[in-house]
Chains A and B, each alone.
Chain A
């Protein structure tokens, strides 16, 4: 078992009170597994990604545990987490285009970063990995501003995985790219796992179609909670949660890129997480909701690796 998250609660502090961005998330990730994490904007998927590596100033760890390779991660202790970051858990950020210091040549920046973490830069290894994602070696002697968006993206992917982390969080890495580049990025990530650069991966996205190509398992989140988690094929072909079904129904055949547009197909909007109503949070938008939905649905295992939180599933 690589990663175990149990009853994780993370709140955002705001003026009007705490926003319960993660409200009791539990799931597991096996060694070598790629987990696709899907959901609408604001469902908590990015919060989950951040919680596993670096919480920002307004996030507060309220409860629950995260265990990686048998060791509990001190996710609320920024200092203690530093030892784990990069080496055990690493991140390909959403903002990969601007993630590199604009006034340092790449080679120098990578060297300084590695040495600051007590690792010696290995140029041969670095170049081998750059070859693998199709980055010319001259890139190392360039400034970030001289690279194209796709090159920056790939460079960040190589840097983030240089210390062979056990868990890689890829946060919306494809949302700024065109379709062909998206495919290339997905292929590169699969290649990283094959080469053993990363063991397991959480692929955060709102693009179910793309996730299907890369992920072994797909986890659908809704309003800070798990809705359904199952092998990718099962999610796509035999979903059980009404929300997952609606998500898939809203998929067009080809040609539309953004999940947001697809999701317009589901009427209504998620509840405020400031003071979420009791019971199933999808109740108001759910076509099959009944009286029992006034109570919180527990996460049940329909099959050994198929979990659903719905009374009607």
Chain B
């Protein structure tokens, strides 16, 4: 393998072109992203194109999927497809907000701890480890119950605030190994400040890794939010996939045999998170030549 690289020295542009070459040919990456994209479009366009509010009661309760109600109705006659597309929206929103905030905190803590080292690292690592051990859902339960968090954005914010530690740990380890590389030394010798080195030298060199970390955080945030919703601490206004599951469970959809009520929301969450995970494996194969199938 070393021989290969030596024989054909690569320029950065070549690496990028090669990554793209593998990306478009990677079935996992393409199908994963395609599925996420379809669901995202459904969540974005569905509410615009469809009439009615997702929680409006309708005249035909408990009807199975039909031409009129694609995914049937609830015991209150609410249209489940309408709820589903609105639910997709909140699910993506909570994933982006929660995953984004967690990624931002994880990056700052990880970069600073890994790059500065020493006492700064010691303190930040200790903080990371402490928060890592506390069970996330339990903290969110307490916070939501007392503070009455009732909007998707604030829910995402709180999830972000509790989800970052493992990302910080992983990014710290990566930064640690990058910090002794020549190009970082060079930047340091040329008098660049810590922040500049981190943003110009370190972060770009692990951008693929950071992107994959964000994807995992996104998936984690979606799953945690759905658990919170299911326990009854979800947003009060609007719909989410987790809330749909909660309603189905609360109003005995199971015992009444209304499978069309509890199957779609769970399938939606599984599809989003699963597709992202699979795309992530694809990304890993694209950026990490060792994993490519030969």
A residues neighboring B (CB under 8 Å): 12-16, 19, 21, 41-42, 44, 46-47, 56-58, 272-274
Contacts and interface: CB of A to CB of B under 8 A. Distances in A.
B1 A19 contact: no
Interface in B6-28: 6-8, 18, 21
Interface string B158-186: 00000000000000000000000000000
Interface string B245-260: 0000000000000000
A193 B21 CA distance: 50
A274 B7 contact: yes
Contact of B3 (A15, A16, A47, A272): A47
7 contacts: A12-B3, A13-B294, A14-B4, A41-B6, A42-B7, A274-B7, A274-B8
User: How would you classify the secondary structure of chain A's contact residues: helix, strand, loop or mixed?
Assistant: loop
A57 B7 contact: no
Nearest to B292: A15
A56 B1 CA distance: 9
B2 interface: yes
Contacts of A46: 2-3
A57 B8 CA distance: 19
Nearest to A58: B294
B3 A44 contact: yes
B3 A42 contact: yes
A292 to B, nearest CB: 27
Contacts of A272: 7-8
Contacts of B2: 41, 46
B294 A21 contact: no
Nearest to B6: A42
Nearest to A270: B7
B7 A15 contact: no
Contacts of B21: 15
Interface of B: 1-4, 6-8, 18, 21, 294
Nearest to B18: A15
Contacts, number: 35
A47 B3 CA distance: 8
User: How would you classify the secondary structure of chain B's contact residues: helix, strand, loop or mixed?
Assistant: helix
A44 B7 CA distance: 9
A21 B7 contact: yes
With a 10 A CB-CB cut-off, give which of B2, B8, B294 has the most chain A CB atoms. Answer: B8
Given A15-B18, A19-B4, 12 more contacts: A12-B7, A13-B294, A15-B21, A16-B8, A19-B7, A19-B8, A21-B3, A21-B7, A41-B6, A46-B2, A46-B3, A272-B7
Nearest to A57: B294
B11 to A, nearest CB: 14
A272 B7 CA distance: 6
A21 B3 CA distance: 8
B151 to A, nearest CB: 49
A42 B2 CA distance: 8
A274 B8 CA distance: 8
A45 B3 CA distance: 9
A21 B7 CA distance: 9
Contacts of B6: 41-42
A11 to B, nearest CB: 11
A46 to B, nearest CB: 6
Nearest to A223: B7
Contacts of B294: 13, 57-58
B150 to A, nearest CB: 51
A56 B3 CA distance: 12
Contacts of B4: 12, 14, 19, 58
Contacts of A273: 7
Nearest to B4: A12
Contacts of B1: 56, 58
B177 to A, nearest CB: 16
A101 B7 CA distance: 31
A12 B4 CA distance: 8
B16 to A, nearest CB: 14
A44 B4 CA distance: 10
Contacts of B18: 15
B199 to A, nearest CB: 32
Closest 3 CB pairs of A and B: A42-B6, A41-B6, A42-B7
A201 B3 CA distance: 22
